[in-house]
């Protein structure tokens, strides 16, 4: 696990300036505190910071091929590197280290840029081929590891985080208004946009090729559901057995490391299943890490302990109070573009706890998208039956008071508002944060974007025409929400503490299998994750298998009405909002009063505004 960065001159005849490359690399020190490396070769410079996981003494980067003309830096892990290494050695390649990174330069010699199709793992990599004058950037097929790029000051630059790109002297910190509009709609920003006009994300499953000053971006992998479900003729018991076998194989592959591996254990089904399998496969006592809250509804420590006790793990816990919100300015530093998933706070804290004991930890991201864990999937199935009734009762539903500790009222309101929309628009409306009308009311005229944030969802949805309707929506979440919210949250929160997080649910074979499962085997109007629950039932306590969805979520609505209200009113005061210039102060004030009064749960909207305000103060001034 590392942070990587670099530059290549569009002119092709001048080397990058060493002090700029060093400054970019320095900004990534938290991602790799164990060592640093860099190389300037002709018009290109690549650099990295290393967190040593595999081949501790020999895996420093950049790593080159035999003749020293192909060089690579990588952020991530390649889980099938041993098989690839044996194949390369049979073909005559001489490898000098035991690291997973070294196989990349030799695979490139054999297959060219298409070598990334052979990789099983999570990665963002940069490869410089001095013979061909080619720079190649690549990101894994699921978007687990980040990759940003920009073209300013006569160079193409890339980095694992935006905080590295902004070290370029010519980089503008001007806000991209389309990205701001998308952030307000989602509380996250979809690729290829970033909050900065001068930077873009490389989408998941894509490569960027710079050659002779020309740049092209191409998709090389697209995990997708089959046009017709491929497993509907097999019995559920057969599918359960295969699912468990694929999960076990993924966990076994993800345990490959020369350092101890732990599990971030939320008490939910996904992380509990991973903890069970890791405890069984590792051969050593497993370390697990959990977080809880003073608010009992959000305190999942008891459920996590059931799994820890069953498998005798070395279990560690942390209880969080509202005082932890004092860390919000710190999170604005960690997430160097606006990111408003409030569970980033507990994820940051549990990662800090884990980093005191291990260098690698499993996390359960991907299970909800692959196996049907979201309430919106059930709502999709219910909409044709009760949608007309719910829409007719909307005037009554809108008058329901909002509770500080339960979100059922909020879900009922969102269901009634969206019940009669077409499938994709309905699905998006159930999860969106601010509607088009609400954004129009909130944004100053000069701060409005030109693009419709829903268009990115429509593009993804159109690619799966012919697949099951619910499977198509799960695919949208897999390619959009998962990439830009849970995976971003986990990567930044963990790497801020130099902790590598691995996501075994997002293994090539496991994902392909999950996408081919008929939706009815995963989701019904009154049950979620059916197949997954049955597959892992023998491994887990009944309370976990039958329990509700859990994750590292916080009581944000209650905190913003109580302990955090003074902080919210200060950060979103009329004076601050007017000075920053993006939002209408009276609209922000109205959101605050509607939430604090209990008329609505607007915690997601207000958390987004808090996040943006803190980010703006931290990152838009040099």
Domain hosting 284: range is 236-370+473-545
Mean pLDDT confidence for 8-30: 92
pLDDT of residue 325: 73
pLDDT of residue 324: 67
Is the confidence at residue 74, as pLDDT, over 60? Answer: yes
* 419-424 contacts, C-beta under 8 A, 24 or more apart: 419/383, 419/386, 419/387, 419/388, 419/390, 419/391, 420/387, 420/388, 420/391, 423/380, 423/469, 423/472, 423/473, 424/457, 424/458, 424/461, 424/473, 424/476
Helices (H) and strands (E) in the chain, counts: 28, 17
Q: Are residues 245 and 195 in the same domain?
A: no
Is the Cβ–Cβ distance between 606 and 323 less than 8 Å? no
Is the confidence at residue 344, as pLDDT, over 90? Answer: yes
Domain holding 209: CATH number? 3.60.20.10
Q: With respect to residue 295, please indicate whether it lies within any of the assigned structural domains.
A: yes
Q: With respect to residue 273, please indicate whether it lies within any of the assigned structural domains.
A: yes
DSSP 259: S
Q: What is the total count of domains within the chain? A: 2
Q: Are residues 54 and 186 in the same domain?
A: yes
* pLDDT tens-place string over residues 272-304: 999 999 999 998 899 999 998 776 666 678 899
Q: With respect to residue 287, please indicate whether it lies within any of the assigned structural domains.
A: yes
* Whole-angstrom distance, CA of residue 586 vs CA of residue 290: 40
Strand residues in 331-466 grouped as ranges (E): 360-362
* pLDDT tens-place string over residues 596-612: 998 889 999 999 999 99
For the question of residue 2 being annotated catalytic, the response is no
Task: Determine which one of 5, 273, 379, 470 is catalytic.
Answer: 5
pLDDT of residue 507: 97
Is the confidence at residue 261, as pLDDT, over 70? Answer: yes
Q: Are residues 166 and 256 in the same domain?
A: no
Q: With respect to residue 445, please indicate whether it lies within any of the assigned structural domains.
A: no
Q: Are residues 207 and 257 in the same domain?
A: no
Q: With respect to residue 363, please indicate whether it lies within any of the assigned structural domains.
A: yes
Q: Are residues 6 and 130 in the same domain?
A: yes
- Judge if the upstream peptide bond of residue 76 is cis by omega within 30 degrees of 0: no
Q: What percent of the chain has pLDDT over 70?
A: 92
Out of 219, 250, 278, a domain closes at 219
Highest mean pLDDT among 261-270, 291-300, 613-622: 261-270
Out of 545, 563, 595, a domain closes at 545
pLDDT of residue 99: 92
Q: Are residues 195 and 276 in the same domain?
A: no
pLDDT of residue 79: 96
* pLDDT tens-place string over residues 398-411: 556 655 444 656 66
* pLDDT tens-place string over residues 131-168: 989 999 999 999 999 999 999 999 999 999 999 999 99
Q: Are residues 127 and 208 in the same domain?
A: yes
* Whole-angstrom distance, CA of residue 295 vs CA of residue 401: 20
Mean pLDDT confidence for 489-493: 97
Q: Are residues 240 and 194 in the same domain?
A: no
Calculate the average pLDDT of the chain: 91
Domain holding 298: CATH number? 3.40.50.620
Q: What percent of the chain has pLDDT over 90?
A: 75
* Confidence grade of residue 184 (pLDDT, cut at 50, 70, 90): very high
Is the confidence at residue 267, as pLDDT, over 70? Answer: yes
Q: How far is CA 188 from CA 207, 288, 612, in A?
A: 23, 29, 11
Q: Look at the chain and count its residues.
A: 622
Round to the nearest angstrom and report the end-to-end CA distance of the chain: 29
pLDDT of residue 283: 83
Q: With respect to residue 591, please indicate whether it lies within any of the assigned structural domains.
A: no
Q: With respect to residue 442, please indicate whether it lies within any of the assigned structural domains.
A: no
Mean pLDDT confidence for 544-569: 84
pLDDT of residue 89: 96
* Confidence grade of residue 416 (pLDDT, cut at 50, 70, 90): low
- Helix (H) or strand (E) holding 4, with range, is strand 2-9
Q: Are residues 31 and 158 in the same domain?
A: yes
Is the Cβ–Cβ distance between 185 and 432 less than 8 Å? yes
pLDDT of residue 51: 86
Highest mean pLDDT among 55-69, 421-435, 549-563, 578-592: 578-592
From 104-113, 178-187, 480-489, 514-523, the region with the lowest mean pLDDT: 514-523
pLDDT of residue 298: 62
The closest alpha carbon to 532, from 346, 293, 291, 273, belongs to: 273
Out of 482, 515, 545, a domain closes at 545
pLDDT of residue 57: 76
The closest alpha carbon to 183, from 594, 564, 604, belongs to: 604
Q: Are residues 86 and 137 in the same domain?
A: yes
Main-chain dihedrals φ then ψ at residue 337, nearest 5 degrees: -140, 160
Mean pLDDT confidence for 104-131: 97
- Determine the Cα angle at 341 with ends 336 and 343, to 5°: 110
Structure-model confidence comparison of residues 106 and 380, the more confident one: 106
Q: With respect to residue 95, please indicate whether it lies within any of the assigned structural domains.
A: yes
DSSP assignment of 169-236 equals: TT----B-HHHHHHHHHHSS--TT--SBTT-EEPPTTEEEEEETTEEEEEE-------SS-SSTTS-H
pLDDT of residue 406: 46
94: left (phi over 0), alpha (psi -120 to 50) or beta: beta
Q: Are residues 333 and 250 in the same domain?
A: yes
pTM of the predicted model over 0.85: yes
Is the confidence at residue 583, as pLDDT, over 80? Answer: yes
Three-state secondary structure call for residue 41: strand
Instruction: Name beta bridge partners: 316.
Output: 289
Pairing state of beta strands 314-320 and 287-293? parallel
> 179: how many CB neighbours lie within 10 A of its CB?
24
* pLDDT tens-place string over residues 439-459: 999 999 999 999 999 999 999
The closest alpha carbon to 146, from 434, 487, 374, 431, belongs to: 487
pLDDT of residue 404: 46
Q: Are residues 201 and 289 in the same domain?
A: no
DSSP assignment of 548-612 equals: PP--S---HHHHHHTTTHHHHHHHT-HHHHHHH-SB-HHHHHHHHHHHHTTS---HHHHHHHHHH
């Amino acid at each position: 696990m590392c942070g990587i960065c670099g530059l290549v001159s569009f002119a092709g005849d001048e080397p990058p300036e060493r002090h700029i490359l060093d400054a970019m690399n320095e900004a990534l020190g938290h991602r790799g505190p164990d060592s640093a490396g860099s190389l300037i070769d002709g018009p290109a410079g690549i650099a990295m910071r290393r967190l040593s996981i595999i081949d501790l003494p020999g895996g420093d980067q950049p790593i080159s091929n035999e003749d020293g003309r192909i060089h690579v830096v990588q952020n991530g892990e390649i889980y099938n590197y041993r098989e690839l290494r044996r194949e390369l050695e049979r073909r005559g390649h001489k490898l000098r280290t035991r690291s997973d990174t070294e196989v990349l330069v030799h695979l490139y010699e054999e297959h060219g840029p298409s070598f990334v199709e052979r990789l099983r793992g999570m990665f963002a990599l940069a490869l410089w081929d001095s013979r061909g004058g080619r720079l190649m950037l690549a990101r894994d097929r699921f978007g687990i590891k980040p990759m940003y790029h920009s073209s300013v000051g006569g160079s193409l630059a890339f980095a694992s985080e935006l905080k590295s790109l902004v070290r370029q002297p010519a980089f503008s910190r001007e806000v991209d208004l389309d990205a701001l509009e998308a952030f307000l709609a989602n509380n996250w920003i979809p690729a290829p946009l970033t909050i900065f006009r001068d930077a873009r994300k490389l989408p998941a499953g894509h490569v960027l090729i710079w050659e002779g000053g020309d740049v092209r971006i191409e998709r090389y992998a697209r995990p997708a559901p089959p046009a017709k479900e491929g497993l509907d003729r097999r019995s559920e018991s057969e599918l359960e057995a295969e699912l468990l076998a694929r999960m076990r194989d993924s966990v076994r592959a993800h345990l490959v490391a020369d350092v101890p591996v732990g599990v971030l254990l939320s008490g939910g089904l996904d992380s509990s299943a991973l903890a069970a399998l890791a405890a069984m496969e590792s051969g050593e006592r497993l370390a697990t890490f959990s977080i809880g809250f003073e608010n009992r509804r959000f305190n999942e420590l008891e459920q996590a302990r059931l799994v820890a006790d069953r498998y005798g793990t070395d279990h560690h816990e942390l209880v969080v109070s509202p005082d932890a919100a004092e860390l919000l300015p710190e999170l604005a530093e960690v997430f160097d573009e606006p990111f408003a998933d409030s569970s980033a706070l507990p994820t940051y804290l549990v990662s800090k706890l884990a980093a005191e004991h291990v260098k690698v930890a499993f996390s359960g991201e991907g299970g909800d998208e692959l196996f049907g864990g979201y309430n919106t999937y059930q709502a999709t199935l219910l909409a044709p039956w009760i949608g007309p009734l719910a829409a007719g009762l909307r005037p009554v539903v809108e008058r329901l008071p909002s509770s500080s500790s339960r979100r059922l009222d909020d879900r009922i309101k969102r269901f009634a508002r969206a019940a009669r929309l077409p499938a994709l628009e309905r699905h998006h409306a159930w999860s969106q944060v601010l509607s088009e009308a609400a954004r129009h009311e909130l944004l100053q005229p000069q701060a409005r974007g030109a693009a419709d944030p829903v268009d990115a969802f429509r593009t993804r949805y159109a690619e799966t025409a012919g697949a099951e309707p619910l499977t198509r929506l799960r695919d949208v979440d897999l390619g959009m929400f998962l990439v830009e919210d849970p995976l971003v949250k986990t990567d930044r929160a963990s790497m801020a503490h130099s902790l590598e997080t691995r996501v075994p649910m997002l293994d090539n074979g496991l994902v392909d299998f999950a996408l081919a499962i008929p939706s009815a085997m995963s989701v019904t109007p009154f049950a979620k994750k059916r197949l997954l629950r049955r597959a892992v039932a023998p491994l887990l306590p009944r309370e976990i298998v039958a329990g509700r969805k859990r994750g590292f979520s916080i009581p944000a609505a209650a905190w913003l009405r109580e302990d955090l209200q003074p902080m919210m009113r200060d950060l979103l005061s009329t004076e601050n909002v007017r000075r920053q210039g993006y939002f209408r102060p009276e609209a922000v004030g109205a959101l605050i009063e509607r939430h604090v009064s209990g008329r609505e749960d607007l915690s997601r909207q207000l958390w987004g505004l808090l996040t943006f305000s803190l980010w703006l103060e931290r990152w838009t001034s040099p």
